[in-house]
Amino acid sequence: MALNDKLLTVATGVVLAVGGATASLLLGDHGTQGYQPNLTVAANLAAPQIPTVTDIRPTALVSDAPVRIAASVPPAKPEVETGRMIFAAVEPATRTVPSAVRSDVITIAVQDGAPELATPADFSDIVLTRSIADVPAPEVTGLTNGLSVTLSDFKDALRIPQTPKISCALDLRATPIFGARVKLKLKAPCHPNVNATIRHGGLQFKERLNATGQLELKVPVFAEYSRFDVELSDGTQSTVGAYIAGLSTLERVGISWKGANDTFLHAFQNGAGMGETGHIWRLNPSDFARSRMEGGGYLAQLGDAALPEPQLAQVYTLPLRMTAGQQIVSFAVETLRGETACGAAMKIQTARHQPNAKAGFRKISLRLPECGAVQTSLLLKNALKDMKVARK
């Protein structure tokens, strides 16, 4: 019987594509109804084309029996379950079907001239020319954002860092600031947490450097050409000088001393009594800004009282205001006996600046009251002369 040019339906859903060729089905003597033959296909077909759904049209129902296909290339599985689609390369039509074909085999002949199926490639004769070991290793890019990594890229990272050499020389600077003062800066990187004695204008006081060997403080000066000498506790010394303007617009007086006993410089402005507003001392020092805005003087305290052997200083400054009237400031120096200085000798250094005059220095010697005595302090009222400023 003649089959469709496109498809041959074998069993239930078995389709054999033969390109544009026409096939003839020979049933022989076994075309009786109910007979279930085996099927052998001998053909030389072109590459199979899978039909679309619209092209499928049943043309012949051969059998529901299992199907075997004899071909030049044996199938992957020797037995095929019923109802599965099978495509296989078959022998050319010119070859005869082997004589050993059973009598129950149905032979299908394909018309001569049908296109040949593509022969599967044979790779058995391929010879490798490079071993697997010669294949270069791929670059690792997962950890470097797509950049190739070489040892040279880590050259700087692998280099042992060199610690820069630190200079142990003292760096001492004095910068003039408002109020006839200087900002004193000391850098001593090789001398952390050491004590430094500072001398200027006949006064001296002791400060402590911080953990990095630095110190910064504001110091009132007593001369236009000022000199500051610094000596560390290990004997290292440094000196710096500065020119200071503005000393003609103020008067200044100061004291310094050694020892842990409390000592105070009292300034009584315009007749003020002890504890009143015009009384300037350690507990009411005022400051530079307040003095400029409200008038009167202010007290600067220098030195670290927490050191084992402190050296302290106090400096009173009175700016000369351009206002009419008279200002009079009287002074007193008070020192307390303390618990460890009973009956001890004590020296107090004084310094004074007046406009159009050289700085004056004076040393005061005294003896503290004995332990157990009723008197616990000394008040020196004539240690410093009064300031008298008259403006017309």
pLDDT of residue 337: 78
Evaluate if residue 4 carries a pLDDT over 50: no
pLDDT band per the 50, 70, 90 thresholds, residue 388: confident
pLDDT of residue 367: 87
More confident residue, 184 or 109: 184
More confident residue, 310 or 104: 310
Mean pLDDT of the chain: 73
More confident residue, 149 or 8: 149
pLDDT of residue 1: 44
pLDDT of residue 339: 72
Lowest-confidence segment of 78-82, 136-140, 357-361, 377-381 by average pLDDT: 78-82
pLDDT in tens, 80-134: 444 444 444 444 444 444 444 444 544 444 455 555 555 566 656 665 555 545 5
pLDDT of residue 369: 83
pTM over 0.95? The answer is no
pLDDT band per the 50, 70, 90 thresholds, residue 15: very low
Evaluate if residue 50 carries a pLDDT over 80: no
Evaluate if residue 6 carries a pLDDT over 50: no
Evaluate if residue 157 carries a pLDDT over 90: no
Percent of the chain past pLDDT 90, that is, above it, reads: 38
pLDDT of residue 51: 53
- 3-state SS of the chain is CECCCCEEEECCCEEEECCCCCEEEECHHHCCCCCCCEEEECCCCCCCCCCCHHHCCCCCCCCCCCCCCCCCCCCCCCCCCCCCCCCCCCCCCCCCCCCCCCCCEEEEEECCCCCCCCCCCCCCCCCCCCCHHHCCCCCCCCCCCCCCCCHHHHHHHHCCCCCCCCCCCCEEEEEEECCCEEEEEEECCCCCCCEEEEEECCEEEEEECCCCCEEEEEEECCCCEEEEEEEECCCCEEEEEEECCCHHHEEEEEEEEECCCCEEEEEEECCCCCCCCCEEECCECCCHHHHHHHCCCEEEEECCCCCCCCEEEEEEEEECCCCCEEEEEEEEEEEECCCCCCCCEEEEEEEEECCCCCCEEEEEEEECCCCCCCCCEEEECCCCCCEEEEEC
* Architecture of the domain defined by 171-243: Sandwich (2.60)
